[in-house]
Copies of this chain bind each other. A is one copy, B any other.
Amino acid sequence: MGRQHAERVDLAVSTVIFALRPSPDSDLMTLWLPLVRRIREPYEGRWALPGGWLSPEHDLETAARATLGRTTGLTPRYLEQLYAFGTLDRSADDTRVVSIVYWALVHADEAAQAIDSDNVEWFAVDDLPELAFDHRTIVDYAVWRLRTKMEYSRIAHGFLGETFTLAQLRQVHEAVRGCSFDPANFRRQILATGSLVDTGEHLTGTSHRPPRLYRYDTAVQPADHGPLTPSKEQA
């Protein structure tokens, strides 16, 4: 059962971090994610997902959180395991690496003040550079999961602040799903889920009728993980 070859399997944990930022050309909100420039071979100079080796004293999720804090200085509003990638050819040299990848949502205005250090840069998901390893596949899968989960779950929460208007929430859905929704129908559907709480306050300062401010019902879980509760694998 032990390892027969001299080589071994290395375990890495990477994270796909999503934030919502205004597009440079249009004023619409689009998806962005931070990448780090590789300073070592293989793929030196290429952009890659933030991550690191898994040390024995760290939990998988803890490692993903640490990576997130190291590269962006932020704490995620949502964090979930994406997939474990482990094909033989994904490392390009003769090492064998299995990457357990997480995906996270961070606050939009927090992401604006995030650190933009030398080797970390934010990219729009529609305009990514060439990535190292199989990271392009990973990002595509993460975007697909985000889009799919947005349809049936309430993870839009992760992009917004404590209180928000229905228009803001709708803009998040439109940015991620990539299509526009009827404001009236969107209101009816969202309110029908019972996951929103009316704060009674209104957002003022707009040049039109002041919209109501809502808050998420904290009693409802943001996403259905089945028997696995988030942030805890209830071992």
User: Which residues of chain B are within 8 angstroms of A145 by Cβ–Cβ distance?
Assistant: 226
Complex CA–CA separation, A4 to B148 (angstroms): 39
Q: Which of B54, B58, B84 contacts A100 (CB 8 A)?
A: B84
Contact residue among B52, B56, B81, B141 (Cβ-Cβ distance under 8 Å from A9)? B56
Contact B134–A233 (Cβ < 8 Å): yes
Are A98 and B100 within 8 A (Cβ)? yes
Cα distance A66–B9 when bound, in Å? 18
Q: Is A8 an interface residue (CB 8 A)?
A: yes
Asked if A137 is an interface residue, CB under 8 A from chain B, the answer is: yes
With both beta carbons as reference points, the residue of chain B lying nearest to A83 in the complex is identified as B81
Copies in the complex: 2
Cα A94 to Cα B89 in complex, Å, equals 32
Check B86 against A3 for contact (C-beta < 8 Å): no
A119 close to B (CB within 8 Å): no
Contact B137 A83 (CB under 8 A): no
* Chain A interface residue count, Cβ-Cβ cutoff 8 angstroms: 43
A179 in the interface (beta carbon within 8 A): no
Kindly provide the distance from the CB of A61 to the nearest chain B CB, expressed in whole angstroms: 8
Question: Of B84, B134, B137, B227, which is within 8 A of A144 by CB?
Answer: B227
A141 to B100, CA, bound (A): 18
Contact of B148 with A226 in the complex, beta carbons under 8 Å: yes
**A87: contacting residue among B2, B53, B59, CB under 8 A:** B59
Query: Is A124 an interface position by the 8 A CB rule?
Result: no
Contact A8 B56 (CB under 8 A): yes
6 tightest CB-CB pairs across the interface, nearest first?
A: A144-B226, A60-B86, A140-B227, A56-B96, A84-B84, A87-B235
Chain A residues packing against B (C-beta within 8 Å): 1-5, 7-9, 11, 52-60, 81, 83-90, 96, 98, 100, 134, 137, 140-141, 144-145, 148, 226-228, 233-235
Contacts A4-B57, A8-B56, A134-B235 known; list 17 others, CB within 8 Å. A1-B52, A2-B53, A3-B53, A4-B55, A9-B55, A54-B86, A54-B98, A57-B88, A59-B88, A60-B86, A60-B87, A81-B84, A90-B235, A98-B100, A100-B100, A134-B233, A140-B226
